[in-house]
A and B are shown apart, each in its own frame.
Chain A
Amino acid sequence: MQVRGVSKTYRLGEVEVHALRGIDLELQEGELVVILGASGSGKSTLLNILGGLDTPTRGEVRYRDHILSNANDRALTRYRREHVGFVFQFFNLLPSLTALENVELVTEIAAHAISPREVLERVGLGDRLHHFPSQLSGGEQQRVAIARALAKRPDVLFCDEPTGSLDYPTGKRVLEVLERANRDLGTLVVLITHNVAIAAMANRVVRLSSGSIAEVHVNPTQASAEAISW
């Protein structure tokens, strides 16, 4: 995945907000990349553009043979459907469906899906298949959300502060699941966090500052999710 000279400008009446200014970045298949940065530095904006939810004001984003910058809604939807998985800070499960059904919802529209039961077992929820979201804890809900994202075997998994609303032990379990997905399935994982400790897991750490890349740090060795603590 290649990002060339990407800028994003929001116009609020007279004022222009430069959320991203000329980002150049290359992401390799199978990498685990952590994006750090102060609040308002443009992390979410970048992730949204990479994930095909938004388009840049200037610059080019390519994923394999897709050009995402200036793609239309239909093309972006297809990109998200075929290649991308999302994990949100606030889970966003369908309250009317059980854990299993929430995963099935996605596998029904995917071409090479993993069996929903299997993927739920993999995130440690084999005994919670028929629980509704309101009957699950926050961490369990987040793991269902990850299972939902992984079930269609995405090539890229975008996570915007996946542990942001979770306590320490729960957050750690979630990170383990992400790590395992990256390792076992070879999924490119892009993870936004405020938590510097988490950066130890990454192959590379991208630090944003006021919409520009301040630093790209390559970790020679990655700590396992189990090993890190904060």
Chain B
Amino acid sequence: MSRLHRALIRDLWHLRGQVIATALVVSVGIGAFVTMVSTYQSLARARADYYSTYRFADVFAGLKRAPDSLAATLRLIPGVAAVQTRVAEDVVLSVVKLAEPATGRLISLPSAAQSGESLNRLYLTAGRYPSPWSDDEIVASQTFARANSLSLGSRIGAVLNGRWKVLRIVGLALSPEYVYEVGPGMVVPDNRRFGVLWMNAEGLATAFNMKGAFNDLSLSLARGASSKDVIDAVDRLLAPYGGFRAYDRTEQPSNRFLTDELGEIEVNATYIPAIFLAVAVFLVYTLLVRLITIQRSQIALLKAFGYSNVRIGMHYLEFALLIVALGLTIGLTLGGYFGAGLIGVYQQYFHFPVLRYRLGLSLILFATAIALAAALGGSLTAARRAVRLPPAAAMRPEPPRSFRAGVLDRAGLIRRLDTVTKAILRNLARRPWRAALSVLGIAAAVATVVIGRFMFDAVNALMAVHFDAAEREDVTVTFNETRSRGAVTSLRELPGVLRVEPFRAMPALIRAGHREKRVSVLAVPPSGTLRQLIDARRRRIEVPPGGLVLTRKLARILGVVEGNHVLVEQLDGRRQQFTAAVVRLSDEPVGINGYMDADALAGLLGEDAPISGALLQVDKSREPALFASLKHTPAVAAVSIRSATLATIRAIMNRSFILMTIVMTGFGIVLVAGVVYNSVRIALSERGTELASLRVLGFTRVEVGQLLLGEQALLTLVAIPAGCALGALICRLLVPAFDRELFRLPFILTGATFGFASLVTLGSAAAAGCLVAGRIARLDLIAVLKARE
């Protein structure tokens, strides 16, 4: 080992506090990057494997009823590789340990003859498929079964087309169609109250009068085929059979959600590591500058001995590289650890046959390259200083720091302050760039903590708006098909029902120019109070008779504004079309819909105002009785209960957002501590003599500590509001990533979040500062009297 290398190791040891602080910041940047990217890659890979092995379809369509023979015609559509026809029905389930009714989606299994080309195959995790002749054996979604503690042999009660039937679980399975198993109209999965059940086609068709017919279609595409063309062809063929619009994977709910989530991870994988690595570059730079200042004479000596500039520059580059290498090692370890942990969290929401965590070599190399760039970025300018130092100048001690009356003095701002504050302000003003970068570093930390709490705030606000202002019903009952208004009467007679408001959810295709979207048009009675349309300020919007109200997001998708006309194509019933004016836009945060006045819609369609379900307001104390009877009510396809939904969302928030808050807060603490520790160490090394001489003059440790830490305290105080603003800005930029069809996060940050971020920052800055301030006790007072500063 050469002398220089030995010196390198001694320097690293000597500056170990700053070396560790810098390495930690690097490690968080690299760690965050590796966590996010490896999680992304693991999920994406699991999805790709799952979809191809279990033949996830490319195009999907629902319809009212078509004869099985149509399948052959569908197969002839150019670009179609395989066709799967099924019967799928939503039914109300009665699960033993669950007070409320659950919603089950019954899907027919392909017969043995068809199974060769079947799509959306199941991954059987336990048990077996139903025997060919059985009409009560089912394969249940493993997720649903687990959530309800159901196992092989358990029984579930169901109302099939008005008849009570007991189903028996003989197998448990996962399906590529339900990686994210979320029920109709739900934002988050509620695995206790929604589940998929598969049974023999024969039995299901018999129960629902669908013998020889199907109401659900999946297609796979030949390589290179256009899904758009196939969808158009499918729509033409299905039109006479009550076909709803076909759609491709991008609109398939489970896949859609998975894609959104992956997109979110991708966003997180860019800006969080970027913040940290930028700060790391700054820290490496200041650390090296300090080292070079301390070693001026040593550098001169080396140069005098004939060491080349390159060799000396390399020495300091190596120093930076070693620090970053340490950070990289910790970062890769952290990244691997958190990535595996995150995959564990995702396993609770996304159900794959295998979701294995993988940290690939290419990612490790990429992370290394990024770390290397950070090391070079931080050290090149600093090392150039060492190279530029002429040997003679370097032999002399660094000239005394010169101060001049600055802007602050001339403005007369400084005169009235106490002397210690003056010293602090002048020191800051002398190195404005260093001060600005410190502020930026601390502000980045504040922002990180703010961002960590953003989801929490935003989802809380979303829920407040959605459940307090928009959807105020206690229970929503959906019928399995539209009924006459008379059906309301039977609901009114159920126990505990205080108020019933019928609604019609008409599946429709809304077209504006060449854009179109498949949505529900909700028809609500004008006197309704349980479901309200609201504007951006949560004020109630009245649905004007004859006009159409669109969710703002839907209007954006269609490219229309208030006053435009759109074409509404009914996708059920008599499939009529009409043109309607968009009279208002509404701002409910969940889902996208069209809204019309119930009577106006009925008039336009020439119908007798049929209803698809009802919103109920119920007496809390009689809920158990109500739920018990809903479990057995015929013709009900789905029951959704507000209190259960709220509880589910809260549970998910608590699980994932608290984790997010903790991780981001931890990141923030590392960042603040790293920046502050570094700055205070540098201040101490630059001004140690100055401070020791004050101690000699009778200043107490605390007073000297104030002078040392005052600068950083001031910078921290400036950085906190700046960081809050930066955090708010980044959250604002993140909001579009959450502007989805399923839900839209509002841009809301609470005072509590800013307060929390400020406190965390102050606390960790104080802790880091005090760690260094402890060294004041060790200042050598006697050396001051001897040494030249």
Contact between chains at A109 and B785 (CB < 8 Å): no
Q: Does A82 contact B (CB under 8 A)?
A: yes
Mark each residue of chain A from 67 to 89: 1 if its CB lies under 8 Å from any CB of chain B, else 0: 00000011001111110101011
Q: Which residues of B contact A134 (CB under 8 A)?
A: 400-403
Is there contact, CB below 8 Å, between A82 and B698? yes
Contacts of B788 in A (CB 8 A): 90
Determine if B703 is an interface residue (Cβ-Cβ < 8 Å).
yes
Tell yes or no: B420 within 8 A of A by CB. Answer: yes
Map CB proximity to B onto A17-57 as digits: 1 under 8 Å, 0 otherwise: 00000000000000000000000000010001001011000
The answer to whether A77 and B789 touch across the interface, beta carbons within 8 angstroms, is: no
* Alpha-carbon gap, A13 to B287, bound state (A): 33
Question: CB within 8 A of A97: which of B423, B430, B700, B787?
Answer: B423
| Chain B residues positioned under 8 Å from A109 (CB to CB) | 698-699, 703
Chain B 555-578 interface 0/1 with A at a Cβ cutoff of 8 Å (1 = within) = 000000000000000000000000
**Cα separation A224 to B697 with both chains bound (whole Å):** 28
Q: Which of A100-108, A196-204, A209-217 contacts B (4 or more CB under 8 A)?
A: A100-108
Measured between alpha carbons, how far is A109 from B401 in the docked complex, in Å?
Answer: 25
Contact of B777 among A73, A88, A90, A104 (CB under 8 A): A73
Do A96 and B698 have beta carbons less than 8 Å apart?
no
Chain B window 456-490, contacts with chain A (Cβ cutoff 8 Å), 1 for yes, 0 for no: 00000000000000000000000000000000000
A160 touches B698 (CB 8 A): no
Whole-angstrom distance between the alpha carbons of A160 and B420 in the complex? 26
Q: Complex: how many Å from CA A149 to CA B693?
A: 12
Annotate B778-789 by CB proximity to A: 1 below 8 A, 0 otherwise. Answer: 000110111111
- A48, A84, A132: the one contacting B782 at CB < 8 Å is A48
Interface centre among A78, A81, A86, A96 (most CB of B within 10 A): A96
Given A97-B426, A134-B403, A88 and B785 touching (CB < 8 A)?
A: yes
A residues near B401, Cβ cutoff 8 Å: 95-96, 134
A92 on interface, CB distance cutoff 8 Å: yes
Contact check, B697 vs A86: say whether CB atoms are below 8 A apart.
Answer: yes
Indicate whether A143 reaches chain B with its CB closer than 8 angstroms.
no
B71 to chain A, nearest CB (A): 86
Does any Cβ of B come within 8 Å of A153's Cβ? no
- Interface positions, chain B 720-743, Cβ under 8 Å from A, are none
Distance between Cα atoms of A164 and B420 in the complex (Å): 29
Interface residue A130 (Cβ < 8 Å from any Cβ of B): yes
**A97 CA to B700 CA in the complex, in Å?**
19
**B739 CB, nearest partner CB in chain A, Å:** 51
A148 within 8 A of B: yes
Across-interface contacts of A160 in B (CB, < 8 A):
785
**Chain A contacts with B in 128-161, Cβ cutoff 8 A:** 130, 132-135, 148-149, 160
Contact in complex: B418, A108 (CB < 8 Å): yes
A81 in contact with B690 given A97-B422, A132-B403, A134-B403 (CB within 8 Å): no
Interface size on A, as a range, is 35 or more
Contact between chains at A94 and B695 (CB < 8 Å): no
The number of residues on chain B lying at the interface, defined by a beta carbon within 8 Å of a beta carbon of chain A, is 35
Decide: A44 and B693 in contact? CB cutoff 8 A.
Answer: no
Interface centre among A73, A81, A109, A149, by most chain B C-beta atoms within 10 angstroms, is A109
- Chain B residues, Cβ within 8 Å of A81: 697-700
Neighbouring A residues of B420 by C-beta, 8 Å:
105
A96 touches B423 (CB 8 A): yes
Q: Is the CB of A101 within 8 A of B419?
A: yes
Q: Which of A77, A80, A88 contacts B784 (CB 8 A)?
A: A88
Cβ of B703: which chain A residues have Cβ within 8 Å of it?
109
Known: A48-B785, A73-B777, A160-B785. A94 touches B696 (CB 8 A): no
Question: Of all chain B residues, which has the CB nearest A85?
Answer: B697
The answer for the CA separation of A89 and B782 in the assembled complex, in Å, is 12
- Chain B residues 75-96 with CB under 8 Å of chain A are none
**CA A130 to CA B785, docked complex, whole Å:** 26
* A96-B423, A132-B402 known; A84 vs B690 contact (CB < 8 Å): no
Q: How far is the CA of A134 from the CA of B427 in the complex (A)?
A: 14
Closest to B402 in A: A134
Q: Which B residues from 751 to 789 make CB contacts under 8 A with A?
A: 777, 781-782, 784-789
Whether B689 sits at the interface, judged by CB under 8 Å, is yes
Given contacts A53-B782, A54-B782, A89-B785, is CB(A94)–CB(B690) below 8 Å?
yes
CA–CA, A101 to B785, complex, Å? 21
Which of B404, B777, B781 has most A Cβ within 10 Å? B781
User: Smallest Cβ distance from A3 to chain B, in angstroms?
Assistant: 18
Is the pair B697, A148 in contact by a Cβ cutoff of 8 Å?
yes
B787 cross-chain contacts in A, Cβ below 8 A: 90
Nearest Cβ in chain A — how far from B419, in angstroms? Answer: 4
Q: Decide if B698 touches A95 in the complex (CB within 8 Å).
A: no
B310 at interface, CB cutoff 8 A: no
Residue from the list A44, A94, A104 in contact with B786, Cβ < 8 A? A44
- Chain A residues contacting B402 (CB-CB under 8 Å) are 95, 132, 134-135
Which A residue's beta carbon lies closest to that of B424? Answer: A96
Min CB distance B100 to A, Å, is 69
Point out the residues of chain A lying under 8 angstroms from B781, CB to CB.
53-54
Residues 422 to 437 of chain B near chain A (Cβ within 8 Å): 422-423, 426-427, 430
Contact B423 A94 (CB under 8 A): yes
A175-189, CB < 8 A from B: none
Interface residues of B in 393-447 (CB under 8 A from A): 400-405, 418-420, 422-423, 426-427, 430
The answer on a CB contact under 8 Å between A77 and B426 is no
The docked-state distance in angstroms from the alpha carbon of A78 to that of B700 is 8
Cα–Cα distance between A62 and B777 once the two chains are bound (Å): 24
The docked-state distance in angstroms from the alpha carbon of A171 to that of B696 is: 23
B405:A53 contact, CB within 8 angstroms: no
A108 touches B784 (CB 8 A): no
Contacts of B777 in A (CB 8 A): 73
Q: Which residue of B lies closest to A145 (CB)?
A: B693
Residue of A nearest to B693 (CB): A92
Kindly report which residue of chain B lies nearest to residue A90, judged by CB atoms.
B788
Which residue of the partner chain, among A48, A92, A95, contacts B403 with CB atoms under 8 Å? A95
| Distance to closest chain B CB from A67 (angstroms) | 18
* Contacting residues, chain B, for A73 (C-beta < 8 A): 701, 777
**Distance of A73 Cα from B430 Cα, bound (Å):** 33
Q: Is the CB of B789 within 8 A of A90?
A: yes
**Chain B 670-701 interface mask (CB, 8 Å, partner A; 1/0):** 00000000000000000001100111111111
Which one of B400, B698, B701 has the highest number of Cβ atoms from chain A below 10 Å of its Cβ? Answer: B698
Contact A96 to B700, CB < 8 A, known contacts A53-B782, A90-B788, A101-B419: no
CA distance A90 to B690 in the complex (A): 11
User: Which residues of chain A are within 8 angstroms of B419 by Cβ–Cβ distance?
Assistant: 97, 101, 104-105, 108
Most buried by A among B402, B404, B782, B785: B785
Give the CA-CA distance A96 to B401 in the complex, in Å. 8
Q: Which residues of B contact A130 (CB under 8 A)?
A: 405
Q: Could you pull out 23 A-B pairs where Cβ atoms are within 8 angstroms?
A: A44-B786, A53-B782, A53-B785, A80-B696, A81-B698, A81-B700, A86-B696, A88-B696, A89-B785, A90-B788, A92-B690, A92-B784, A95-B403, A95-B690, A96-B427, A96-B430, A97-B423, A109-B698, A133-B403, A134-B400, A134-B401, A135-B402, A135-B404
Apart from A88-B784, A95-B401, A101-B423, what 4 extra A-B contacts exist at CB < 8 Å?
Answer: A74-B700, A81-B698, A95-B690, A134-B401
The 9 closest A-B pairs by CB, nearest first: A81-B698, A134-B402, A92-B693, A80-B698, A96-B426, A105-B419, A132-B403, A96-B423, A95-B401
